[in-house]
Amino acid sequence: MSEIIRLEHIWKRFTGVTALSDVSVSFSSGEVHALVGENGAGKSTLIKVLLGAYQPTEGRIFYEGKETVIESPRKGSELGIEGVHQELMLVPYLSVSQNIFLNREIRKGKIFDVKEMNRRSQELLHDFSIDIDVTKPVKQYSASIWKMIDIARVINQNPKVIIFDEPTAILSEREVDSLFSSIRRLKEKGIAIIYISHRLNEIGEIADKVTVLRDGHHIGTLPASELCNDDIVKMMVGRDVSQYYSRSRVERGEELIRLDSLELKKGQHDISLSVHKGEIVGLAGLVGAGRTEVAEAILGINPILKGSITYKGKPFHPASPSQSIKKGIYLVPENRKYQGLILRFTVANNIALSVFSRWAKFFYKGKKEATVAENAIRKLSIKTPSSKQLVNNLSGGNQQKVVIAKALETSAEFLIFDEPSVGVDVGAKEEIHNHMDSFVVAGGGILMISSDLPEVVGMCDRVYVMYEGRIVKELKGDEVTDNNIAEYMLGSKVAEAGI
């Protein structure tokens, strides 16, 4: 294994922030090198420096032994460095094959050789056991197929270095397996692989080496075989975080909400569940199983075709979020930057977003907003220089706390959390879980949607599992285990039991 890229004393500074300070690390061919760290630790910046999307403020990069300036993604690509990005890097209304050959088209004279590109794309995807019509726009296909197309696109360019940025976030277990086997194939071909993931178990499975970043500093690089998950977490956070979930014992109270065989859009039916005061109820399932749709139906965002909802003993017909919120229901949405926050507004504006209209008949109370926000910032220990800071400048975890503060200000009794800890670092994750716990201790009820199985198992009293638009199982007490949930959400138990 030979070294291919070496970074020496890389610094990167932005407006008021130092994203990377004095990072030196090297990557070798034929090796899977995992890069871990909390959100905001500098992983994304480091990748962007490698890809040529950012220029380091200071420091030197050596590529194949020679000092190199990667001044643009184009240059990076010419050198043989390619990335599979976290966001879906495809053009929705271009065909699958045109996406795979984006800016690397095969040409016949001046014009594109579409037939040849289609043929090659078909072959390439076949390696991932995906057989789709490559002449159709990618928009038609699901997010996980997009990811695989994106990966095929990158591999097609025969790079020497591939950077995977959280590739498995939206993949099913089977797809993860097929991805890992192709990563191993690439490794054997002598390609250097840089792998970023929040899922520590995956790192143990696939990585040869692990580099940990914290607050832009390089904490250490060690062989994966010498590290266990607890060590990595300790290095990432810089302190001991109990990897365990702590829940207070709460007496289950009266029923808060009950959904009776709801039918939402096509293919989503038989949705029945209940949440009592004092409990956290999980809603597990794959991405696309219909979990978010259930949450949005309760809020009145999506229409309910059939079935009924009972809230606090009375029939409830959700019409709009504003009405549901008045009744004490609140959704902490999945996409916090888009659905949860106004990024261009201040922390105070955001915390008061759902309540400022309640304070007066006509006037907007700026001063009251500031006081309320100051209190919430203290109560939830949101890390921000002041309540006047723009939310955009906060880290993922603190942004999520702002959303939670926003929810708590409405004095809601029933909270729905949709993926509460996605994009949240380990430390903040624990704090968010504590807030959820104290909310139910105070007599509220929570419905939590999550793809993070340890989180579901650790936090929930009961769990409903959704599979292809239906709730197929309710798991209680001892039944709530990783294995049980996984089997139902992947559908294997469902077929067996003939549900």
Partner 1 sequence: MKRGDIVRTLKGFPPVVWMLILIICIFSFTGTNFYSVNNLLNIVRQASPYLILAMGETLAILVGGIDLSVGYVMGFCGVAVAMLMNMGLPFYVAILIALVIGAFCGFINGLFVGKFKLPYFIVTYGTGNMVYGLGSIITGGVSQPALDRGFRFIADGTLLGIPVVFFLALIVFLLMKLLIKKTPFGRNLYGLGGNRESLFLSGVNVVKAEIMVFTVTGLLAAIAGVIFAARSASGHPGFGIGWEFDAVAATIIGGNSFSEGKGSINKTVLGVIFIQILRIGLNISGVAPQAQSFLIGFIVVIAISIDVIIQRRK
Partner 2 sequence: MNKEKAYSLFFEKGLYRIMILVVMCVLLTCISDSFLSLSNIMNIFRQASILLILAVGATGTILAKGIDLSLAGVMSLSGCVCGYVLNAGYPVPVAILAALSVGIGFGFVNGFLVGVVKIPAFVSTYGVKYIANGLALMLMGSNIFFGFPESFLFLGVGFLGPVPVLVIWALIITAIMYVFLERSKFGHQIYCVGANSTAAFYSGISTLRTYFMVHVISSTCAAIAGILQASRMNAAQAGMGESFQMLAVASIVIGGTSMAGGEGNVIGGILGALILTLITNGMNLLNISSQAQPLVTGAVIVLAVFLDVQMKHIEGKKAVKAAIA
The C-alpha atoms of residue 2 and residue 363 are separated, in whole angstroms, by 68
Binding to partner 2 (CB under 8 A): which residues in 253-312?
A: 299, 301
- Residue 104 binding partner per list partner 2, partner 1, none, with a CB distance cut-off of 5 to 8 Å that depends on partner kind: partner 1
Q: Please, what is the minimum distance in Å from the beta carbon of residue 129 to partner 2?
A: 37
Residue whose pair of structure tokens reads 């709530």 in the numeric block: 480
Contact 342, 350 (CB under 8 A): yes
Check residue 319 for interaction with partner 2 (CB under 8 A).
no
Q: Please, what is the minimum distance in Å from the beta carbon of residue 337 to partner 2?
A: 9
What is the enclosing helix (H) or strand (E) of 323? helix 321-326
Check residue 158 for interaction with partner 2 (CB under 8 A).
no
Check residue 215 for interaction with partner 2 (CB under 8 A).
no
Judged by CB under 8 A, the residue of 16, 109, 477, 498 near partner 2 is: 16
- Residue 405 binding partner per list partner 2, partner 1, none, with a CB distance cut-off of 5 to 8 Å that depends on partner kind: none
Check residue 244 for interaction with partner 2 (CB under 8 A).
no
Q: Please, what is the minimum distance in Å from the beta carbon of residue 99 to partner 1?
A: 8
Residue 211 CB neighbour total at 10 angstroms: 23
Judged by CB under 8 A, the residue of 1, 91, 305, 342 near partner 2 is: 342
Residues 6+ apart with CB under 8 A from 207: 32, 33, 34, 195, 224
Contact 469, 461 (CB under 8 A): no
Check residue 66 for interaction with partner 2 (CB under 8 A).
no
Binding to partner 2 (CB under 8 A): which residues in 431-460?
A: none
Q: Please, what is the minimum distance in Å from the beta carbon of residue 450 to partner 2?
A: 19
Q: Please, what is the minimum distance in Å from the beta carbon of residue 299 to partner 2?
A: 7
Judged by CB under 8 A, the residue of 10, 100, 331, 457 near partner 2 is: 331
- Residue 344 binding partner per list partner 1, partner 2, none, with a CB distance cut-off of 5 to 8 Å that depends on partner kind: partner 2
Residue whose pair of structure tokens reads 């014009």 in the numeric block: 111
Check residue 109 for interaction with partner 2 (CB under 8 A).
no
- Residue 347 binding partner per list partner 1, partner 2, none, with a CB distance cut-off of 5 to 8 Å that depends on partner kind: none
Check residue 53 for interaction with partner 2 (CB under 8 A).
no
- Residue 340 binding partner per list partner 1, partner 2, none, with a CB distance cut-off of 5 to 8 Å that depends on partner kind: partner 2
Exposure string over 461-473, b if 16+ CB within 10 A, otherwise e: bbbbbbbebbbbb
First to last CA, the chain: 51
Q: What is the Cβ-side half-sphere exposure of residue 311, based on CA atoms within 13 angstroms?
A: 19
Q: Which is nearer to partner 1, 92 or 443 (CB)?
A: 92
The C-alpha atoms of residue 423 and residue 34 are separated, in whole angstroms, by 18
Region at 126 (left for phi over 0; alpha for psi -120 to 50; beta for the rest): alpha
Q: Which is nearer to partner 1, 139 or 174 (CB)?
A: 139
Check residue 393 for interaction with partner 2 (CB under 8 A).
no
The C-alpha atoms of residue 321 and residue 201 are separated, in whole angstroms, by 38
The C-alpha atoms of residue 166 and residue 173 are separated, in whole angstroms, by 14
The C-alpha atoms of residue 473 and residue 466 are separated, in whole angstroms, by 7
Binding to partner 2 (CB under 8 A): which residues in 17-46?
A: 17
Contacts with partner 1, residue ranges (CB under 8 A): 51, 53, 72-74, 77, 83, 85, 87-94, 98, 102-105, 110-112, 114, 139
The C-alpha atoms of residue 473 and residue 425 are separated, in whole angstroms, by 31
The C-alpha atoms of residue 420 and residue 418 are separated, in whole angstroms, by 6
The C-alpha atoms of residue 34 and residue 18 are separated, in whole angstroms, by 22
What is the enclosing helix (H) or strand (E) of 145? helix 143-156
Check residue 55 for interaction with partner 2 (CB under 8 A).
no
> Where does this chain bind partner 2 (CB under 8 A)?
13-17, 57, 299, 301, 320-322, 324-326, 331, 333, 338-345, 349, 353-354, 356-357, 359-360, 362-364, 406, 410
